[in-house]
Structure 1
């Protein structure tokens, strides 16, 4: 099997390429804007620039059986772009559909699109998100992913190329970017966290678990033309996340009580509403469909994976 992984130098892409290259029956074609070099015989790489027009994927797609599309314009913590909505749409919608069109023309059998749980919404109240939940994206990133999902579904309906859509929640590991990296730094610093009164439920997915699920979707016949919400088995509170990270770092958890509404007001005052949502609100995912339909079980337990992330971050591993 020949697999094209876009965004192969990114957080998830690099881990996925490494795992795929360990399989004897897979040849990996990586692509990204920055170099991604693996010194193995079953890997080759194509570098693409940030041109104003969609890329020509003809050479990279030659002989490819499955595309795993990870490349995207992700969350930007400090947005400075002139028209961020247009930038998200170009990167995550227009470029995605251009790649899918070329993949279809090249005879690719399956297109795996890594979307986001943000398509479903920013938080949950009492009921966990499922594949049947009505999409309600709030952020520009999530809205662009939802538009790409709809475009891919329309483009590939009735064609020979199968579509698999995966919506993960926050993906974590020692080298995770964004708000999880901020949390790792705070816990590592030993600074007290005002989170002991936050009683929320967050679904996450360990990097190893997401990679394993993507690999499962490469060949599984029942994955064809399906959308999956995927997560670790257990939802946890933010306080529990901090406790597990601190345990992995070999340090004491320092939590103190602040009413959540005070945290919400403070976050709004400094323009950190998204950080508040991730830290203090609930976002639960019901991944029953992925577990039952594909007979998939996350190989890594969330408590062990969080402790591992803390340990590796503290010790500069990964």
Structure 2
């Protein structure tokens, strides 16, 4: 039996990987709503122009014949997140835009709606030795996390009516070939080979390879036990920031000395420079427990953390050479 999948955020880091996965599945066609019709996708992917995502977007053409929606598009950053209007700016896309799409998906007869949320809905940090569970009471911090939580709540209310099946996936930090942002900056910093004061960080953080997120989402497309559930996703292999850096140093093939400077001193210095939030991400713990995925879906990460890190670094080095 054939099926049709709509993927929003198709030009993003995760969206591109989802598109590539889905169009290679048997009896599956893929729809990619795009703001720029010049974006390069295989001919087997149906491209439909969508200028923006908000509460007025018309999804009629995009949703025609669609069985499953994977909603990966979101507003992640704005220029001034501390402004009084920041939460409303996030809500416009992440809440109103999401629920508008979901309501139109119901009208179009879509069977299942998979919403890509964020671990930040659970919170920013976990105590040492503890881990977030998918069914913990949410504690979102900041306008982005709050907006994603509000979208989740709206979708779950829709699910309770029986109008459409909902699946919510909350990834931790995603890395993989072509990763940008902080992970890429870390590799750039380590590649320089200069001594760095990060040799004594004993936190624990969960990470997830791009391939593992995609595999879980693919599982959730049809699995009967995924209906109206929330799942966290990680590689199930937590590392301290120091351990992560040491593995990256090995794969980068550089000689970088990580000096064991006390974490308290690093946090103090970061605070003086106005970088306290970055310090919490580097030095704090954030662990997730993904046992629910195994119990309900029989799912475990197919790609190991070390294999994924090696591939990530190799792509990074190849890109630098080219």
Q: What range describes the TM-score normalised by the shorter chain of this pair?
A: over 0.9
SS of residue paired to 2:319: coil
**Aligned residue for 2:143?**
140
Cα distance change, pair 239–5 in 1 and its aligned pair in 2 (3 A)? same
Give yes or no for the alignment of 1:233 onto 2:260: no
SS of aligned partner of 1:316: helix
Match of 1:95 in 2: 97
Could you tell me which residue of structure 2 aligns to residue 3 of structure 1?
5
> Shift of the alpha carbon at 1:288?
0.3
Q: 2:118 touches 2:169 (CA, 8 Å); kept in 1?
A: yes
Name structure 2 gaps, 5 residues minimum. Answer: none
Structure 1 residues 191-206: aligned runs within 5 Å: 191-206=194-209
- Unaligned 5+ residue runs, structure 1? none
Cα 1:300–1:253 change in 2 (3 A) is farther
Q: Quick one: structure 1 residues 230 and 165, their matched pair in 2 at CA, closer, same or farther if it must change by over 3 Å? A: same
Distance 1:246 1:163 in 2: 41
Q: Distance in 1 between matches of 2:87 and 2:5?
A: 31
Q: Which residue of 1 aligns with 2:70?
A: 68
Matched with 1:275 is 278
Paired residues for 1:1-318 under 5 Å: 1-35=3-37, 36-41=39-44, 43-50=45-52, 53-75=55-77, 79=81, 83-125=85-127, 126-316=129-319
Q: Rate the CA distance shift 1:80–1:286 in 2: closer, same or farther, 3 A.
A: closer
Note if contact 1:246-1:307 (Cα within 8 Å) is conserved in structure 2: no
Residue 268 of structure 1 deviates from its aligned partner by: 2.3
Give the superposition deviation at 1:50: 3.4
**Contact residue 171 and residue 232 of structure 2 kept, 8 A:** yes
**Relative to 1, partners in 2 of residues 1:309 and 1:20: Cα closer, same or farther, differing over 3 Å?**
same
User: Distance in 2 between the 1:77 and 1:247 partners?
Assistant: 36
TM-score, normalised relative to structure 1:
0.94
CA RMSD of aligned residues (A): 2.0
Per the normalisation by structure 2, the TM-score is 0.93
**Matched positions, count:** 317
Q: Distance in 1 between matches of 2:58 and 2:83?
A: 25
SS, match of residue 46 in structure 1: strand
Query: How big is the shift at 1:162?
Result: 0.2
Paired residue secondary structure (1:23): coil
CA-to-partner distance for each residue in 1:284-312, whole Å, 9 max, x for gaps? 00000012211112111012211221121
Query: 1:228–1:289: 8 Å Cα contact kept in structure 2?
Result: yes
